Structure 1
Amino acid sequence: MTEPQTHHPNPSGLKRVAVLTSGGDAPGMNAAIRAVVRTATHNGIEVVGVRRGFQGLHEGDMALIGPRDVANTIQRGGTILLTARSHTWRSPEGRAKGAQNLRDWQVDGLIVIGGDGSFHGAHYLQQEHGFPVIGVPGTIDNDLYGTDHTIGYFTAVETALDAVDKLRDTGASHERIFVIEVMGRHAGHIALEVAVAGGAEEVFIPEDAKPVDGVVEIVKQSLAKGKASSIIIVAEGYPGGAEGVSKAIHEGTGQETRVSILGHIQRGGTPVSSDRVLASRLGEAAVYALMDGKSDVMVGRQGGGISHIPLHETWEKKKDVNRDLYRCAKTLSV
């Protein structure tokens, strides 16, 4: 049996990297930070932690961090580096100040953990200042092209599903219809998976702006079959949201409905094992990508292996929902 390679080649001569988390927090971000720090340290590279994302980078809120600083963090939700949405980074002047701060700290490359907005910021830094950047997909929405899953998605699904299971108990007890809104402003990945796993009667997603009238007929059919309660899942990005769907059901059937908007509860909590493992693999891969001289790419997981996708493709190319799963949701709702 061949022994695993303990050190990765470093042809780029990387000596110091910086890491930040940006945009909405996602369970597993801390596991990714931990992986970056420990992979870099293992290979003789120092790590600078940037607090509060691009805002902190612009303000120079940075410090060296080592393996002990990330101890006992893999199981924690949120991000120990904190995160913020930066308005100053949207200007060339703001990005120039951040680039200068990186140079002042003698940083050779930057790792950005976040979603498409964060990747835009990293891409512009590379384009305008030639600074090596690697993106790590950290967003519960699972909407980035070039990776099968994003860090935080698995945990968000489990959190939403737990709430759906509890609401189903209440709905059955009171013979009510629950319309449950899950996160997903532009993507229905969470809604679709929760709908199948939660046995929902119907699911509404942004990728398919089907008329809400159809759910009225579904509810009528369910009532005719003796089903006194139903679960309807709606992604927040579906036109009209859960409130619109609930109103249509009540007006079309006269049945009592309740709306439950799960909201930011889906962002928090202890990351499940799948997110911890994914974050660990991608954090390690991000350091290796910089060591190999790569830049302006996102590291992802596709088909069990590591992929490197140009950052601009992660938002320019559309990642569709699993259409087979969508069909399955419809088939099993009878």
Structure 2
Amino acid sequence: MKRIGVLTSGGDAPGMNAAIRAVVRSGIYHGLEVFGVYRGYSGLIQGEIKPLTLRFVGDIIHRGGTILHSARSEEFRTEVGREKAVQQLKKYQIDGLVVIGGDGTFQGASKLAKYNIPAIGVPGTIDNDINGTDYTIGFDTAINTVIDSVDKIRDSASSHERIFVVEVMGRDAGDIALWAGLAGGAESIIIPENPMKMDEVIARLQKSLESGKKHSIILVAEGVGSAVEIAKQLKQQGMDTRLTVLGHVQRGGSPTAFDRVLASRMGAKAVECLLKGESHRMIAIRHNEVISVDFAEAIKQKHQPIMSLFDLSKILSI
């Protein structure tokens, strides 16, 4: 193996740049030429490929987003599109590929097995919804961003003695809401894996009010349903309620130290795996050890949050 490529695909996540940096510098350290593929699989099909140098990845470890940009590609889902991508890899004599992204990114990379293109995946998604790894790149930064916002919202909630419903990202997974809710002292956490019924939410709030608590925070993962409707139902119960949707602010920002270290370890491990001849595997961290697992484990099995955290939050929010 003499040349490898690296791309980012799907939603951006803080720490992706740190992973790119690790792939480039680790690859060059081991005598490889490293090429950057811009705009994910779409850019791969179009041949948006450039050699990356040590200096190119200087001063990017602290930057959010991805310097290689990201895009979704419907064309890559077709066999014709994948064949075009493979031809580009052959044109640039790229022997292996590191793909940084989430579930869809890995599904795309797994399709390259048919063409004997070695590919290693690095999990980069704020949702932490990839099976087989304890953490994904960007998750720690996202929950810290949420906590910073929740802390500020609580100041206002306390001042005006109100209930705030805060919607966070998590279409299919509730890890952001769960972790940020526990760390931020939320009175109720509503996630797709255990959607709390409104009767229970209202009962918990009424009990809090009766005990003398004057304000509350309810954290809702977007995949549960409409946070607007939840706030509306609380208002119908006579509760002074406000709604905040945090949105894409959760994706941005400088990555935390944890995400920078995680991305650096995973990026370097991806290069190591390619050099060892491994293919179609994902880099994962388990019990603080960086390992590789088969793509199938990441793609075919659904990630499950640590539900004991959910139970703990209910105990501590009384």
TM-score bucket of the superposed structures, by smaller chain: over 0.9
**How big is each residue's C-alpha offset from its partner over 1:193-218, in whole Å with a ceiling of 9 and x where there is no partner?**
11111111000000012312211111
Q: Distance between the aligned counterparts of 1:314 and 1:210, measured in 2?
A: 27
Of residues 16, 24, 47, the one that matches 1:37 is 24
Q: Distance between the aligned counterparts of 1:175 and 1:292, measured in 2?
A: 60
- The residue identity in structure 2 corresponding to 1:330 is K
Q: How many equivalent residue pairs?
A: 318
Q: Distance between the aligned counterparts of 1:83 and 1:118, measured in 2?
A: 11
Of residues 136, 142, 163, the one that matches 2:128 is 142
Give the % identical residues: 51
- The residue identity in structure 1 corresponding to 2:178 is L
- The match for 2:33 is 46
Q: Does 2:176 correspond to 1:190?
A: yes
- The match for 1:92 is 79
Q: Distance between the aligned counterparts of 1:99 and 1:212, measured in 2?
A: 51
SS at match of 2:99: strand
**How big is each residue's C-alpha offset from its partner over 1:15-42, in whole Å with a ceiling of 9 and x where there is no partner?**
1000000000000000000000000000
SS at match of 2:82: helix
Of residues 170, 195, 214, the one that matches 2:200 is 214
Which 10-residue stretch deviates more, 223-232 or 285-294? 223-232
Q: Distance between the aligned counterparts of 1:95 and 1:70, measured in 2?
A: 28
Given that residues 215 and 249 in structure 1 are in contact (C-alpha distance below 8 angstroms), is that contact kept between their aligned partners in structure 2? no
What's the Cα RMSD here? Answer: 0.9
Q: Distance between the aligned counterparts of 2:235 and 2:298, measured in 1?
A: 40
- How far the C-alpha of 1:100 sits from its partner, in A, is 0.6
Q: TM-score of the superposition, structure 2-length normalised?
A: 0.98
Given that residues 235 and 241 in structure 1 are in contact (C-alpha distance below 8 angstroms), is that contact kept between their aligned partners in structure 2? no
Question: 1:250-265 residue pairs with structure 2 within 5 A?
Answer: 250-251=235-236, 253-265=237-249
Task: Give ranges in structure 2 of 5+ residues lacking alignment.
Answer: none
Given that residues 146 and 307 in structure 1 are in contact (C-alpha distance below 8 angstroms), is that contact kept between their aligned partners in structure 2? no
- The match for 2:153 is 167
SS at match of 2:55: helix
Q: Does 2:228 correspond to 1:243?
A: yes
- The residue identity in structure 1 corresponding to 2:273 is A
Question: 1:116-155 residue pairs with structure 2 within 5 A?
Answer: 116-126=103-113, 128-155=114-141
- How far the C-alpha of 1:256 sits from its partner, in A, is 1.6
- How far the C-alpha of 1:243 sits from its partner, in A, is 1.6
Given that residues 205 and 237 in structure 1 are in contact (C-alpha distance below 8 angstroms), is that contact kept between their aligned partners in structure 2? yes
Of residues 98, 104, 113, the one that matches 1:111 is 98
SS at match of 1:70: coil
SS at match of 1:159: helix
- How far the C-alpha of 1:306 sits from its partner, in A, is 1.8
SS at match of 2:129: coil
Of residues 48, 54, 77, the one that matches 1:61 is 48
Q: Distance between the aligned counterparts of 2:287 and 2:202, measured in 1?
A: 39
- The match for 2:253 is 269
Of residues 228, 233, 241, the one that matches 2:214 is 228
Q: TM-score of the superposition, structure 1-length normalised?
A: 0.94
Given that residues 147 and 307 in structure 1 are in contact (C-alpha distance below 8 angstroms), is that contact kept between their aligned partners in structure 2? no
Q: Does 2:276 correspond to 1:292?
A: yes
- How far the C-alpha of 1:90 sits from its partner, in A, is 1.0
SS at match of 2:156: helix
**How big is each residue's C-alpha offset from its partner over 1:43-76, in whole Å with a ceiling of 9 and x where there is no partner?**
0000010000000000000000011100000000
Q: Distance between the aligned counterparts of 2:37 and 2:24, measured in 1?
A: 12
Q: Distance between the aligned counterparts of 1:216 and 1:151, measured in 2?
A: 35
